[in-house]
Structure 1
Amino acid sequence: MSFDPHAELAQLRHAQAIRRRRPYWRGRSQLDPHTAELLALHDAGATPADLQRWLATPPRRLRVAHSTVARWLRRTLTQRQTDQGTR
């Protein structure tokens, strides 16, 4: 069996390209697993900044921008209103 440097190099480059890819969330947010808690905090009067700080505390340790939390909250609240309106 002979060593083929071109095949090995192609395999290495392919593996590196796979590792370099960023994960694609397919419309899922990192905040989605915490939906119930975030909405409960919001209903209790929490602001997006409060929610951002809550997400950053252990055990969650999720660092997201304020605008991310605000957009997620607006989208989720709109969705919740449309779901309640169709019932």
Structure 2
Amino acid sequence: MTEFDAAAEVAKLKAQTKAIRKRSYFRRISMLDKYRGELLTMYRAGASGSELLRWLKSKRVVCAHSTLSRYLNKHNG
């Protein structure tokens, strides 16, 4: 019969706790990424944010005007 090693068990538990608490730094995927090319092309061709929102609505994508504005500012380079 083996003896119980409390120090080893505590070390395992500490490692599990560290893994659970570790933050993931993945970039969230935007619902607008699927239409990135089309959005940027239309925006550069002169479409307004409201027009782009109407276009997105026809694709059954709903987002706020501020969300679209931030997305375009971030990706328009």
Displaced runs of 4 or more, over 3 A:
none
Paired residues, number: 52
User: CA RMSD of the aligned region, Å?
Assistant: 1.5
Q: How does 1:26-65 map to 2 (within 5 A)?
A: 26-57=27-58, 60-65=59-64
TM-score by length of 2: 0.62
1:72 maps to which residue?
71
1:11 maps to which residue?
none
Specify the SS of the correspondent of 1:51. Answer: helix
Specify the SS of the correspondent of 1:63. Answer: coil
Percentage of pairs with the same residue: 40
Deviation at 1:33, TM superposition (A): 0.7
Distance 1:69 1:53 in 2: 12
Distance 1:47 1:76 in 2: 16
Between Structure 1 and Structure 2, whose CA radius of gyration is higher?
2
Deviation at 1:49, TM superposition (A): 1.2
Deviation at 1:26, TM superposition (A): 3.9
